[in-house]
Amino acid sequence: MLVGMLAGCGINTIPRDNQAVKAAWAQVQNEYQRRADLIPNLVATVKGYAKQERETLTAVTQARSKATSIQVDASTIDNPDKLQRYIQAQNKLSGALSRLLAVSERYPDLKSNQNFLALQSQLEGTENRIAVARRDYIQAVQKYNTDLVTFPGRIWHWLMYSDMKPHANFEATADNAEQAPEVQF
């Protein structure tokens, strides 16, 4: 009977809320770690993809320019050096176009723009997840700290849980914390 009354009157509220605070803080740390793991990898992926596309498109442009700069007329056939330069330029253009076609076959449209949009979306999503985790932590701390100073939690705190102290709430400690971090490529 006494156990039932004690269980129903909030004796376990303070330890339960204390564990909720710890779990909420662990989630905040989890989201920070997710950001630390995710963002550099996303940026590197986008940079690598953009670089590959840029190299492919640059190669095509340069090969095309070189191929069209060599003037071809009837006398070209009679000039082995000029013919060889023309064939080499055309082969370079063919090779560059083959790489471009391979890229476009794997990726029907060149997707750097989509990758940047995906990166932007992931950055926004990550920052939102962090904000939600912080909010949940703040709410858990508020509930726990409130239980320590209101009835009947105040009595239980005094009788049984005097070693449990109020938790500090989340505070932005970085300079300019109200500003999102800048991503540079």
DSSP letter string, 26-90: HHHHHHHHHHHHHHHHHHHHHHHHHHHHHHHHHHHHHHHHHHHHS---GGGGG-HHHHHHHHHHH
Question: Given pLDDT bands bounded at 50, 70 and 90, which one contains residue 10?
Answer: confident
Crossing angle between the packed helical segments 80-106 and 13-69, to the nearest 10 degrees: 160
What is the model's pLDDT at position 157? 94
What is the model's pLDDT at position 104? 56
115 with 46: CB under 8 angstroms? yes
Separation of alpha carbons 35 and 109, rounded Å: 29
pLDDT, average across residues 134-148 = 94
Question: Given pLDDT bands bounded at 50, 70 and 90, which one contains residue 97?
Answer: low
Residue 28: which of 131, 123, 143 has the closest Cα? 131
pLDDT, average across residues 100-123 = 66
Question: Given pLDDT bands bounded at 50, 70 and 90, which one contains residue 14?
Answer: very high
Encode pLDDT of 46-78 as tens digits. Answer: 677 777 777 776 777 777 777 667 766 666 665
pLDDT, average across residues 8-31 = 89
* Percent of the chain's residues with pLDDT above 70: 62
pLDDT, average across residues 13-40 = 87
